[in-house]
Chains A and B, each alone.
Chain A
Amino acid sequence: MLAKRIIPCLDVTAGRVVKGVSFVELRDAGDPVEIARRYDDQGADELTFLDITASSDDRGIIFRIIEQVAEQVFIPLTVGGGVREVQDVRNLLNAGADKVSINTSAVLNPQLVADAAGRYGSQCIVVAIDAKQVAPGKWEVFTHGGRKATGLDAVEWAKKMQSLGAGEILLTSMDKDGQMSGFDLALTRAVTNALEIPVIASGGVGNLQHLADGVILGGADAVLAASIFHFGEYTVQQAKQFMAVQGIEVRL
Chain B
Amino acid sequence: MVDIAVVDYGMGNLRSVQQALRKVAPNTSVSVTDDAKIIAGAKRVVFPGQGAMPDCMRELDARGLRQAVLDAAQNKPFFGICIGLQMLFDHSAEGDVPGLGILSGEVVRFASELKDAQGNKLKVPHMGWNRVQRINQPPQATITPSSGGGGLGSGSIGAHILWNGIDQNSRFYFVHSYYVRPHDESVVQATSDYPQPFVCAVARDNLFAVQFHPEKSAAAGLRLLQNFVNWNPV
Contacts and interface: CB of A to CB of B under 8 A. Distances in A.
A32 to B, nearest CB: 17
Interface string B211-234: 001011110011000000000000
A168 interface: yes
Nearest to B22: A71
Interface in A52-72: 70-71
B29 interface: no
Contacts of B176: 123
Given A2-B122, A120-B51, A121-B52, A70 B16 contact: yes
Interface stretch (B7-15, B63-71, B139-147, B148-156): B7-15
A196 B112 contact: yes
B163 interface: no
A234 interface: no
Contact of A5 (B51, B124, B128): B128
Interface residues of A, number: 36
B128 A198 contact: yes
A74 B222 contact: yes
B130 interface: yes
Contact of B221 (A74, A96, A167): A74
A197 B125 contact: yes
> Which range holds the interface residue count of chain B?
35 or more
Interface centre among B128, B194, B218, B222 (most CB of A within 10 A): B128
B15 A94 contact: yes
B222 A2 contact: no
B160 interface: no
Given A168-B127, A199-B123, 15 more contacts: A1-B193, A2-B122, A2-B126, A2-B194, A3-B128, A5-B129, A76-B213, A93-B13, A94-B13, A94-B15, A120-B50, A167-B175, A198-B125, A251-B129, A251-B171
14 contacts: A1-B131, A1-B193, A3-B130, A45-B129, A71-B19, A74-B23, A75-B217, A93-B15, A121-B50, A167-B127, A167-B175, A192-B121, A193-B121, A198-B128
Interface of B: 11-13, 15-16, 19-20, 23, 50-52, 112, 116, 120-131, 171, 173-176, 193-195, 213, 215-218, 221-222
